[in-house]
């Protein structure tokens, strides 16, 4: 992709050439990886896992196993980023490996459900913490709308201002987690730990089912690193920096997640962790009283804001890529002549997210996200098989510095893990899964309509 400044010197040029500019370095990309993963869930979700498996070994083991799977996914996407360092990330991989129609359906689901639904839920979560902390008499929907509007405006100013805000918020997330862990470790002595079995029940189908149920929220909590690939067209030396950012970012999140769960188990015990729905607040309340609970509430608000910032920066590049391919409104591919960012795509996502947040349907839509998202996780990973086969046929090996270790076995295991989550979610929530898949399948006739419009 040409990344030079646009040449608008010709007086007869009615429309100057505009391209995305590569302005994101390794640190920016790493913060994007971590920011796409760490939201409010890690401060709340540990109790969900503890209600499925009931010993420290199994609880921490589930989070460690989820981290290993996420790291495998990061290596897969790192190699895909080397092979296809194009704007759009997953959209580009699916388009080049399979068919533009499959890529379009992915982008369709991203805009209607997976990205905007999750963002709406997080925006309302931010609003609730913000109102509680400040005491401002505003409705949650109003605060959520204002937050989305401010972050959308910042990202319309350029990719660098958006990345700066995102990086600052990610650093504040890391500080929040560090404060939680240090306060829980230094200021409170947890319950006396007695030797106990590593397993809470005999090895059996029941144990495997419980571990599977625990892994579903864990894998969902580790999701989000793939969104950094959406901005590949704006990363400096993406074939070097994106793989490094993916691996370093996921390793950093694994360390943060294990630290949070260790301190929750240490201070609350496995039973106490399972009995509370706000484990981070419970730990800080033990360490610092109500001041601690207020401090962690502030940290959660910052974390949700950081997740929104990352989502607003990254996902619109998919809609931009769709429009450039002629599969979406051409206006969505418009780049601002000064900032060189897809302003229309950014605003489109912000408006639709706001509509969902104000409608009050975000929690229902969020239930559709898991099965839909993990279908495309696994499908995108299979692109590596396609690209490797083409590489062998064309005798043009890719750079060796970013290869999935143990491929094809490890890649197949990652795909299987993703699709097991889909199967488990469909089994547990059949109605929600069916709605999510219906929305995805509805994108097929829409693709053909856009294809006809493009050719005409």
Distance CA 267, CA 100 (A): 51
Residue 88 has pLDDT above 60, yes or no: yes
So what's the pLDDT on residue 204?
Answer: 82
Residue 13 within a domain: no
Distance CA 149, CA 444 (A): 31
What digits encode the pLDDT tens for the residues 29-70? 999 999 999 988 899 889 999 999 989 999 999 999 999 999
Residue 7 has pLDDT above 50, yes or no: no
Counting Cβ atoms within 10 Å, is residue 353 exposed (0-12), middle (13-18) or buried (19+)? Answer: buried
* Numbers of helices and strands, H then E, in the chain: 18, 0
Closest CA to 59 of 213, 225, 177, 191: 213
Residue 453 has pLDDT above 80, yes or no: no
Residue 19 within a domain: no
For residues 242-261, give the mean pLDDT. 96
Closest CA to 402 of 384, 425, 420: 384
Range of the domain at 193: 26-455
Distance CA 48, CA 365 (A): 20
For residues 103-126, give the mean pLDDT. 92
For residues 317-325, give the mean pLDDT. 94
Beta carbons of 373 and 115 less than 8 angstroms apart: no
Number of domains in the chain: 1
Q: How sure is the predictor about 260, in pLDDT bands with cuts at 50, 70 and 90?
A: very high
For residues 343-362, give the mean pLDDT. 91
Residue 342 has pLDDT above 70, yes or no: yes
Residue 135 within a domain: yes
Residue 238 has pLDDT above 60, yes or no: yes
For residues 18-30, give the mean pLDDT. 90
Residue 387 within a domain: yes
Residue 317 within a domain: yes
Residue 7 within a domain: no
So what's the pLDDT on residue 1?
Answer: 38
Beta carbons of 40 and 238 less than 8 angstroms apart: no
So what's the pLDDT on residue 452?
Answer: 79
**Model pTM?**
0.90
Beta carbons of 143 and 131 less than 8 angstroms apart: yes
For Cα atoms 72, 44, 46, give the angle at the middle one, nearest 5 degrees: 55
Beta carbons of 286 and 186 less than 8 angstroms apart: no
Q: What is the CATH number of the domain that holds 292?
A: 1.20.1740.10
So what's the pLDDT on residue 400?
Answer: 57
What digits encode the pLDDT tens for the residues 295-314? 999 999 999 999 999 999 99
φ, ψ of residue 23 to 5 degrees: the values are: -125, 0
Q: How sure is the predictor about 10, in pLDDT bands with cuts at 50, 70 and 90?
A: very low
For residues 367-372, give the mean pLDDT. 77
Residue 419 within a domain: yes
Peptide bond into 408 cis (omega under 30): yes
Residue 180 has pLDDT above 50, yes or no: yes
Q: How sure is the predictor about 372, in pLDDT bands with cuts at 50, 70 and 90?
A: confident
Distance CA 382, CA 411 (A): 8
Residue 9 has pLDDT above 60, yes or no: no
Burial 200-234 (b: 16+ CB within 10 A, else e): beeeeeeeeebbbbbbbbbbbbbbbbbbbbbbbbb
Residue 9 within a domain: no
The backbone region for 2, taken as left when phi is positive above 0, alpha when psi lies in -120 to 50, beta otherwise, is: beta
Residue 165 has pLDDT above 60, yes or no: yes
Residue 249 has pLDDT above 90, yes or no: yes
| Cα–Cα distance list, 199 to 52, 207, 211, 282, 300 (Å) | 12, 9, 11, 25, 32
Q: How sure is the predictor about 429, in pLDDT bands with cuts at 50, 70 and 90?
A: confident
For Cα atoms 424, 429, 430, give the angle at the middle one, nearest 5 degrees: 95
């Amino acid at each position: 992709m040409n990344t030079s400044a646009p040449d608008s010197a010709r007086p007869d040029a009615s429309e100057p050439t505009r391209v995305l500019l590569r302005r994101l370095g390794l640190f920016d990309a790493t913060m994007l990886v971590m920011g796409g993963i760490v939201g409010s869930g890690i401060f709340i979700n540990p109790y969900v896992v503890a209600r499925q498996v009931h010993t420290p070994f199994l609880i921490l083991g589930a989070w460690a196993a989820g981290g290993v799977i996420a790291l495998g996914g990061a290596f897969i996407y790192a190699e895909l980023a080397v092979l296809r360092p194009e704007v759009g990330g997953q959209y580009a991989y699916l388009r080049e490996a399979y068919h533009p129609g499959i890529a379009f359906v992915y982008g369709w689901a991203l805009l209607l459900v997976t990205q905007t639904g999750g963002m709406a839920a997080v925006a309302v979560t931010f609003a609730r913490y913000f109102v509680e902390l400040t005491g401002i008499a505003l409705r949650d929907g109003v605060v959520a709308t204002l937050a989305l509007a401010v972050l959308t405006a910042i990202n319309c100013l350029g990719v660098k201002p958006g990345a700066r805000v995102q990086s600052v918020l990610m650093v504040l997330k890391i500080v929040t987690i560090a404060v939680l862990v240090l306060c829980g470790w230094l200021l409170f002595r947890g319950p006396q730990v007695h030797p106990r079995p590593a397993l809470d029940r005999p090895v059996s189908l029941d144990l495997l089912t419980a571990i599977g149920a625990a892994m579903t929220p864990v894998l969902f909590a580790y999701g989000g690193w793939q969104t950094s690939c959406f901005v590949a067209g704006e990363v400096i030396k993406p074939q070097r920096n994106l793989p490094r950012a993916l691996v370093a970012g996921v390793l950093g999140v694994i360390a943060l997640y294990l630290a949070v769960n260790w301190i929750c188990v240490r201070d609350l015990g496995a039973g106490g962790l399972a009995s509370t729905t706000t484990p981070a607040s419970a730990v800080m309340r033990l360490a610092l009283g109500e001041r601690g609970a207020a401090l962690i509430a502030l940290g959660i608000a910052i974390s949700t804001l950081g997740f929104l910032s990352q989502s607003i920066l990254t996902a619109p590049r998919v809609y931009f890529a769709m429009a450039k391919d002629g599969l979406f409104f051409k206006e969505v591919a418009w780049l601002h002549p000064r900032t060189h960012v897809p302003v229309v795509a950014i605003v489109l996502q912000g408006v639709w997210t706001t509509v969902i947040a104000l409608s009050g349907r975000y929690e229902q839509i969020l239930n559709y996200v898991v099965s839909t998202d993990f279908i495309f996780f696994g499908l995108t990973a299979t692109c590596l098989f396609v690209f490797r086969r083409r590489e062998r046929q064309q005798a043009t090996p890719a750079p060796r510095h970013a290869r999935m270790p143990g491929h094809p076995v490890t890649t197949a295991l990652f795909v299987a893990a993703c699709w097991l989550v889909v199967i488990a979610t469909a089994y547990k929530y059949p109605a929600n899964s069916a709605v999510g898949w219906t929305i995805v399948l509805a994108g097929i006739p829409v693709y053909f309509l856009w294809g006809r419009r493009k050719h005409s």
